[in-house]
Structure 1
C-alpha cells in the first residue's frame, strides 16, 4: 500500500472515531424524562 492510501485509511479512521465520540456525547446529554413507580408512588424526573 502506498503512502497516500495509508494516509486515507488513517483519516477515515479518525473521522469515524470523532463521529462516534460526538454521537455518544449527544446521547448522554439529551433531555429526557424518567418515570418511576415504587413503594413511595410515582416519581417523574426530567433532566432537560
Structure 2
C-alpha cells in the first residue's frame, strides 16, 4: 500500500508542476511589452506603438 500512495503523490506533484509551467507560459505569452514595435516585411517598414 505505501508504494501506491507514493506513486499517487508523485503523480499529483508532476501534474501540479505541469499546471504551473503552463500557467506561467500563458502569462508570458499574453504579457504585452510597452513601447514601440518595429518590423520589416515585404511591404516595407512598419512601426506600431504598443
Q: Which runs of 5+ in 2 are unaligned?
A: none
SS of corresponding position for 1:35: strand
TM-score under structure 1 normalisation? Answer: 0.70
CA 1:4/1:36 → structure 2, altered by over 3 Å: closer, same or farther? same
**Structure 1 residue corresponding to 2:37, chosen from 32, 35, 43:** 35
Q: Which runs of 5+ in 1 are unaligned?
A: none
State the superposition RMSD in angstroms.
2.2
State the distance in 2 between where 1:8 and 1:35 align.
46
SS of corresponding position for 1:31: coil
1:15 counterpart = 2:19: no
